[in-house]
Amino acid sequence: MNAPRIGVLALQGDTREHLAALREAGAEAYTVRRRSELDSADGLVIPGGESTAMTHLLRSFELLEPLRSRLAEGMPAYGSCAGMILLASEILDAGVAGREALPLAGIDMTVRRNAFGRQVDSFEEQVEFTGVDSPVHAVFIRAPWVERVGDDVEVLARAGEHIVAVRQGKSLATSFHPEMTGDRRVHKLFVEGISARR
């Protein structure tokens, strides 16, 4: 079976690290900045960055509505940190009106932006993660958390009482950055989920 073609949204954020993680997890990974690149993807990674800036760039590159459409049609997506925020169906503390982060509705969840605090409040923690065989070293940077999940959304990990990783169908989201640690198990879960349904 051919490796799934997984795009990494390359408008802002840690694109290179996600490309490396996806390739090590068995995907054919490439950057997405144009509609044609989005259209040819079997799945998409939305990296960390700044969710309001990413929303602005999605509009500027005329990708906001095409991406919403692909997600509505069932394209699998994985979002880390800001990517989790954008994949939500509802965003709390979305930003200043006119410059706010806009939900793409890829996963039925409510996410609170910057819930763990500012950059100075960043931290690292071992978290139990459903689907992998040992705890994941999680790096939280101005991280969100999930306040509500829909009935068909599976909670994969928590930091304390807060939900920090979820899965709905073929899509995943984490409030932390597994691409920064060298641990490829979260990316492998995403890639294998796409491969199993092709």
Would you say 113 is a known binding-site residue? Answer: yes
Would you say 59 is a known binding-site residue? no
- Alpha-carbon gap, residue 118 to 136, rounded angstroms: 22
- What does DSSP assign to residue 175? S
Strands (E), 13-68: 28-32, 43-46
- Residue pair 175/144 in contact by the 8 Å Cβ criterion: yes
Q: Is 81 a catalytic residue?
A: yes
Residue 177 appears among annotated catalytic residues: yes
**Residue among 162, 177, 187, 192 flagged as catalytic:** 177
Q: Is 98 part of any known ligand binding site?
A: no
89 is in an annotated binding site: no
Q: Is 37 a catalytic residue?
A: no
Selecting among 17, 18, 37, 179, the annotated active-site residue is 179
The answer to whether 51 is annotated as binding is yes
Q: Whole-angstrom Cα distance, residue 181 to residue 138?
A: 8
Q: What values do phi and psi take at 39, rounded to 5?
A: -65, -30
Does 195 show up as a binding residue in the annotation? Answer: no
Q: Which of 65, 81, 125, 187 is catalytic?
A: 81
Collapsing DSSP to helix, strand or coil, 112 comes out as: strand
Binding site for L-glutamine, by residue number, is 49-51, 113, 141-142
Binding site, by residue number, is 49-51, 113, 141-142
Report the catalytic residues. Answer: 81, 177, 179
